[in-house]
Amino acid sequence: MLHLIEDEAGTPAHYGAQAAIFAAETGAVFTHLPVQFDETRYADARQHVTVDGTLVTSGLLWSERLGGQPVHAPDSVENVLMSAAAGNVVVPVDPRMANTLTALAESNNVPVRRYRVIRERGVSSLVSADGTTITRARQDAFGRWSALTRVSQVSAHGEIRIALIGDESDQRDVYPATLAALADAADAHALTLNVRFVSTLGLDDSTVPEALSAIDGIVLPGGADMRRVPGQIAAAKYAWLSAVPAVGLCLGMQSMTTALARLALGTDDIDLAETASGASLPSFVPIGTNEDNVLFHRLGLQPIAPAGVSRLSKILGDDPRIRCNHRYKLNPALIAPLSRVGIEVAACDASGEIADAIEARAHPFFIGMQGHPELSSASGAPHPLLSAFVRAAQRG
């Protein structure tokens, strides 16, 4: 049977959540069709990277978190109908497509049930065609969805104040993984998480001390909007000089590495090649190009090799893997200058040519990872890097 979930979510982070809850509750297969959001407005609308290396709508994160089913590339209508003929399949759809899909299913003798997602006052309901409420769900303070019948609370034994360097609307409505993963880590240590969203707009060396006062840790998230880089660099520099625990995720690692390269060489004329092609020394350069001069895009779940004596190797354990979504790598020319100020490459890819992580062993916690650990986190199972960061912030 085909279960069509008509979802009018206006923001990428919410799309598919109710369908994921329903699939998890019923044991049905969750799949999805192509869907479009305005990426000029929502730069990170399609930044959830699947295990097998496809970028999909960021809200499809919830299928993996709620049901444990890995998300794959968008399916075709033909494949969806074939699967629904053999078993229960749940598909979130734009309501404008629902009639067409229903007609196609019926013409192929595939039974169909249709539902609507209704959102009001923080509660999301799945309603059948006859008006019956099938499931109800809500989000917690960190955006994590759960069915109302499964809401649980964690007893807290302390508090940490974390600065998340990014607009709150982006972290809640566009790319929800980082905020949710931080909450997973705080829960694991029975800590109350107090998040301060710090916009990168206007964030520089003169404004960052006030913006980041009285916090225990700093998170530099990933993202596709390169306008965030100058503010992230300022925040990373502050974290370094103030000995505040900091973690950088993908773009965040690139920003924190660039900040330290500037300090190491005593110049601000160092920048990401992706954002400032005119910089005298690029901190991150293209991984490579193909025969058509198109940049190589490293995507999907990738094995990484931590340095044997690194702090990160102890955190990640044996045979670590990380989801990747990047076209640029650390400029090898900066490895020696970075080492002189205490920054070491903590992990590489299988070839040894791509720096997958950096760390400062003498700092309370200063680790950046080129991949996306936040995508491998879930309630009750935080990613070990973020768990270690939260623990360091608590001690700080």
CB 97 within 8 A of CB 55: no
The least confident of 58-62, 232-236, 277-281, 284-288 is: 277-281
pLDDT-based confidence at residue 153 (cuts at 50, 70, 90) = low
Position 290 scores a pLDDT of 83
Q: Where are the alpha helices (DSSP H) in 189-228?
A: 208-211
Question: Would the pLDDT of 150 be above 70?
Answer: no
Burial of 227 (C-beta count, 10 Å sphere; 0-12/13-18/19+): exposed
At residue 387, what are phi and psi to the nearest 5 degrees? -65, -40
Kindly state the DSSP code that residue 381 receives in the 8-state scheme: B
Q: Which of 85, 86, 55 is nearest to 72 (CA)?
A: 55
Name which residue leads in pLDDT, 240 or 151: 240
Reported as a single tens digit per residue, the pLDDT across 201-237 is: 999 999 999 999 999 999 999 999 999 999 999 999 9
Mean pLDDT of the 254-282 span? 94
> What is the sign of the dihedral through the CA atoms of 15, 86, 74 and 220?
positive
Position 152 scores a pLDDT of 59
CA dihedral 348, 282, 248, 206 (to 10 degrees): 160
pLDDT-based confidence at residue 366 (cuts at 50, 70, 90) = very high
Position 169 scores a pLDDT of 96
Question: Would the pLDDT of 332 be above 70?
Answer: yes
Question: Would the pLDDT of 308 be above 90?
Answer: no
Position 319 scores a pLDDT of 85
Distance (Å, rounded) from C-alpha 172 to C-alpha 319? 32
Instruction: Tell me what percent of the residues of the chain surpass a pLDDT of 90.
Output: 90
Q: Which of 75, 50, 19 is nearest to 375 (CA)?
A: 50
Q: What share of the chain is helix, strand, coil (3-state, %, to 5)?
A: 35, 25, 40
CB 323 within 8 A of CB 375: yes
CA dihedral 289, 292, 297, 300 (to 10 degrees): -120
Burial of 31 (C-beta count, 10 Å sphere; 0-12/13-18/19+): buried
Mean pLDDT of the 61-83 span? 93
Distance (Å, rounded) from C-alpha 62 to C-alpha 169? 18
Distance (Å, rounded) from C-alpha 58 to C-alpha 197? 19
Q: Which of 272, 292, 324, 303 is nearest to 54 (CA)?
A: 324
What's the chain's average pLDDT?
94
Distances (CA, A) of 357 to 230, 305, 307: 20, 10, 10
Question: Would the pLDDT of 110 be above 60?
Answer: yes
Q: 3-state class of 83 per DSSP?
A: helix
- Domains in the chain, ordered, with CATH? 2-150 (no CATH), 159-395 (3.40.50.880)
| Residues near 285 by beta carbon (within 8 Å), at least 6 away in sequence | 273, 328, 329, 331
Mean pLDDT of the 84-112 span? 96
Position 18 scores a pLDDT of 94
